[in-house]
A and B are shown apart, each in its own frame.
Chain A
Amino acid sequence: MTLRISAKKYIEEIQNGNLTVEEFIAKTIERIQKIDSNLHAYLEINEHAVEQARLIDKKIKAKEKVGACMGMPISIKDNICVKGTKTTCASKMLEDYISPYDATAVSKLKLEDSIIIGKTNLDEFAMGLTTEFSAFGPSKNPWNTEYVPGGSSGGSAVAVSSFECIASLGSDTGGSVRNPASFCSAVGLKPTYGLISRSGLISYSNSIEQIGPITRTVEDTAFLLNIIAGIDPHDNTTIDNHNENYLNDIDYGVEGKKIGIIKEMTQEGVDKQVSAATNKAISKLEGLGAIFEEISLDMVEYSVAAYYTITATEAGSNLARYDNLRYGYDFDSEGYEFNSYISKARKKFGPEVTRRMILGGFVPSAGHVGKYFLKAMKVKSKLTAEVNEALKKVDMLISPTVPILPFRFGEKIDDPIALFLVDINTVTANLTEKPAISIPFEISGGLPIGIQLLGNSMQDKMLLQAAYALQNTVKLPEVPV
């Protein structure tokens, strides 16, 4: 029995009786125990997973109704609430916090009988690109453990690509699902803003982030999207997708589809291997009937500055509630005055989060709001207008997910701007609220390269169809772990 199968294959095997849930879960846990002390994808493992697996096997045996996931092990990024478990956001501020409720996306998965196998590592409070900012140590890229796995959903991408779970839920604020998916050779989708409920996702920048699935195949992404997408009364920003079925016609193809190549994301600053891979992807899609043209988005140049200005502002507000009074960690308030207590308590934030808090107090402040925050909001609006214009001429846009190959630990951590710029190809989708997906396309010198497709609002289905077509043009080697 192998763990190296897709969700689709897993379900088939369970339904055919070739596999029991307990077997698969036990083997998964064994694998985690074997490799995760090195890779550090997980912060916590579900101790009751095997028990839960047995219960599902019982239901299957008794021919009772079983949910669509049939007991498959799914991991959850540790900034998404799972009831009764620790949800730390990889931060010392929340190291003891146990959530009393499930995120909507999680409860939907549970309703379909998935097994939440564990919580995965991330950059603290989702702020980062490499998991180097996790308070509990980074995760390692399984393709080469000296290299970063990407972030902030690094743990999720590592777990999926190393067969430590079938799929994972991450969160994407500026590329945090697509970037690690690209670096680890997995599929990562950031859906249209409002497609998946954020209730239970611990907010970092609430006006642009989304929960996103990380899987090994595009089909698996579509399968999960069917379960977790949809309007939710607990999240006023969700939109009605009218129960769209994302798996139907996934093999529709790209015949006649017009795709725009984003000039600003494919020329300057792109590693030559990444450039070559992008051109190869374009050829492959042309071979399947897609038509390409060049598209220019002037605002891309300012998108990273706008992104970090807006997210710092929102993060400064979203993280204000962590004053250690109602939840957090052990720190007796006896003898302290209110303001000095919370200022001391909040020292537990890691250095990157601290810096973002300072930025977040600065850029919207009365003396500076016009120069920074309001301008950033205008860049966001103009970029949206540009992308909307472009999507009138073409059906979707293409670029490499990350302009550079995965890099080594410590390489970028001292240069804040170099680190920010790793996001330059991904923040556009967040700022414009459009869906975008990273498809694993090449392994170059042992390091993964992903290709990104960006679609129009609520056109996630079309995007998945194109992604499916692209993924099927290549057969990639398996992760060497």
Chain B
Amino acid sequence: MVSKEEIEHVAKLMRIEIDDHLVHIDRVQKMIAYFDILDKANVESEDLVVNEQTIDSLREDTYIPYEGKLIENLKNYKGTYIRAPKLN
């Protein structure tokens, strides 16, 4: 059972303010409780399956300037920098 406090803590970690606490928290608790089924899966010894490629398939090291003034299409652009709120 996951506590309300834990869920609020995670919401902060994920940088999302939540207003309607109770609605979300109830559903999130249900979802996490459902995930408990994973404990029964008996997969402790399982090795990870991964996708591999060799180093030869990687990109060559060449400089290609990006065409188009990308920065002007982004919001919060005034002059030369992106403006972000101050840091605490």
Give A contacts to B, CB under 8 Å. 98, 100, 193-194, 233, 236-237, 299, 301-302, 305-306, 308-309, 316, 320, 323, 325-328, 333, 336-339, 341-344, 346-347, 349, 351, 354-355, 357-363, 365, 371-372, 375-382, 384-385, 416-417, 420, 433
A118 to B44, CA, bound (A): 47
A302 touches B31 (CB 8 A): no
**27 A–B pairs (Cβ distance < 8 Å), ordered by A:** A100-B68, A100-B73, A236-B58, A301-B41, A302-B40, A305-B38, A306-B41, A308-B35, A326-B75, A333-B84, A336-B85, A337-B85, A341-B85, A354-B24, A357-B11, A358-B24, A358-B28, A361-B13, A372-B35, A372-B38, A375-B41, A378-B41, A378-B44, A378-B46, A381-B49, A382-B43, A416-B34
Q: How many A-B residue pairs have CB under 8 A?
A: 156
B53 touches A236 (CB 8 A): yes
Inter-chain contacts of B28 with A (CB < 8 A): 355, 358-359, 362
Inter-chain contacts of A305 with B (CB < 8 A): 34-35, 37-38
Give a binary string over B29-53; 1 marks a CB under 8 Å from any A CB, 0 the rest: 0111011011111011011110101
B88 touches A362 (CB 8 A): no
> Contacts A325-B76, A338-B87, A378-B41; is A416 near B30 (CB within 8 Å)?
yes
Q: Which B residues from 48 to 63 make CB contacts under 8 A with A? A: 48-49, 51, 53, 58-59
A370 to B43, CA, bound (A): 12
**Closest B residue, CB atoms, query A328:** B75
Chain B residues within 8 Å of chain A by Cβ, number: 51
B10 touches A365 (CB 8 A): yes
- Interface pairs A-B: 5 shortest CB-CB: A378-B43, A378-B46, A361-B10, A361-B14, A341-B85
Inter-chain contacts of A302 with B (CB < 8 A): 37-38, 40-41
Q: Which B residues from 72 to 88 make CB contacts under 8 A with A? A: 73-76, 82-88
In the assembled complex, B5 has its CB within 8 A of some CB on chain A = no
Closest approach, in angstroms, between the C-beta of B22 and any C-beta of chain A?
Answer: 12
> Contacts A337-B87, A365-B10; is A420 near B68 (CB within 8 Å)?
no
B10 touches A358 (CB 8 A): yes
A362 touches B34 (CB 8 A): no
Closest approach, in angstroms, between the C-beta of B33 and any C-beta of chain A?
Answer: 9
Known: A381-B48, A417-B31. 4 other contacts (CB 8 A): A100-B70, A237-B51, A346-B17, A379-B46
**Closest A residue, CB atoms, query B31:** A416
Inter-chain contacts of B34 with A (CB < 8 A): 305, 308, 416-417, 420
Inter-chain contacts of B40 with A (CB < 8 A): 302
Inter-chain contacts of B7 with A (CB < 8 A): 358, 362
Inter-chain contacts of A433 with B (CB < 8 A): 51
**Central interface residue in B6, B18, B31, B74, by most chain A CB within 10 Å:** B31
A462 to B82, CA, bound (A): 51
State the main secondary structure of chain B at its contact with A: mixed
Per a CB cutoff under 8 Å, which of B46, B51, B87 touches A194? Answer: B51
Inter-chain contacts of A378 with B (CB < 8 A): 41, 43-44, 46, 48
**Closest A residue, CB atoms, query B48:** A381
**Central interface residue in A193, A341, A355, A385, by most chain B CB within 10 Å:** A355
Closest approach, in angstroms, between the C-beta of B11 and any C-beta of chain A?
Answer: 6
Inter-chain contacts of A363 with B (CB < 8 A): 32, 35
B32 touches A359 (CB 8 A): yes
In the assembled complex, B16 has its CB within 8 A of some CB on chain A = yes
A339 touches B88 (CB 8 A): yes
A371 touches B39 (CB 8 A): yes
Per a CB cutoff under 8 Å, which of A338, A343, A344, A362 touches B10? Answer: A362
B85 touches A357 (CB 8 A): no
